[in-house]
C-alpha cells in the first residue's frame, strides 16, 4: 500500500480531497511498478517554495512544484520504500492534480527536461487527457 501524507492543506484552497490525492499518487506510482511506499506532500507559501528553489536549484523565484526523492528511483531500495517529498505552491500552480502527478513522476525518476516528452505524455495520460 502507498502511504500518502498531506501537510499544509490550508494553504491550498480547492486542493483535491485526501482520497483523490491518494489515488493520483497510486496511479503515478503504479505506472512504474511501485505499489508500496511512503510519500509526503506539503503545500507551502510562495516564500517557502522560493527559498527551496533557491537552495536546491539555484533559481531565485517561486515555482509550482518541487520533488525531493529519498530512496531512489532505480527500484533497488527496500520495500516499502521512502519515495520522498513533494512540495507544492498553490498560488503558482494552475492545476493542483497535475502538480501532484508531476511531483510523483519526478520522485519515480522521470525528468521532463531531458526525456523527449515522455514524462509529460505519461502525466497527461494518467490525468485522462489523452497522451500516449
> Exposed/middle/buried for 14, CB within 10 Å: 0-12, 13-18, 19+?
exposed
CA angle 21, 119, 91 (to 5 degrees): 50
In a domain, 131, yes or no: no
Asked if residues 98 and 123 have their Cβ atoms less than 8 Å apart, the reply is yes
Provide the CATH number for the domain around residue 33: 3.40.390.30
In a domain, 81, yes or no: yes
In a domain, 40, yes or no: yes
In a domain, 82, yes or no: yes
In a domain, 73, yes or no: yes
In order of 36, 42, 45, 92, 131, the CA distances from 123 in angstroms are 20, 20, 24, 19, 8
pLDDT by position in tens, the chain (length 132): 999 999 999 999 999 999 999 999 999 999 999 999 999 999 999 999 999 999 999 999 999 999 999 876 555 555 668 999 999 999 999 999 999 999 999 999 998 888 888 999 999 999 998 644
Does residue 104 sit in helix, strand or coil?
A: helix
Q: Is the pTM of this model over 0.85?
A: yes
In a domain, 132, yes or no: no
- Look up the domain containing 62 and give its range: 2-126
Number of folded domains in the chain?
Answer: 1
In a domain, 24, yes or no: yes
Amino acid at each position: 500500500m502507498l502511504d500518502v501524507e498531506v501537510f499544509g492543506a490550508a494553504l491550498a484552497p480547492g486542493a483535491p480531497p485526501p482520497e483523490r490525492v491518494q489515488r493520483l499518487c497510486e496511479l503515478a506510482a503504479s505506472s512504474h511498478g511501485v505499489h508500496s511506499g511512503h510519500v509526503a506532500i506539503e503545500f507551502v507559501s510562495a516564500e517557502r517554495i522560493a527559498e527551496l528553489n533557491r537552495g536546491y536549484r539555484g533559481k531565485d523565484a517561486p515555482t509550482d512544484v518541487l520533488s525531493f526523492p529519498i530512496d531512489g528511483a532505480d527500484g533497488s531500495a527496500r520495500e516499502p520504500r521512502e519515495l520522498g517529498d513533494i512540495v507544492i505552491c498553490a498560488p503558482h500552480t494552475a492545476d493542483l492534480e497535475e502538480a501532484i502527478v508531476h511531483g510523483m513522476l519526478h520522485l519515480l525518476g522521470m525528468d521532463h527536461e531531458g526525456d523527449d516528452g515522455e514524462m509529460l505524455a505519461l502525466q497527461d495520460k494518467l490525468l485522462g487527457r489523452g497522451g500516449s
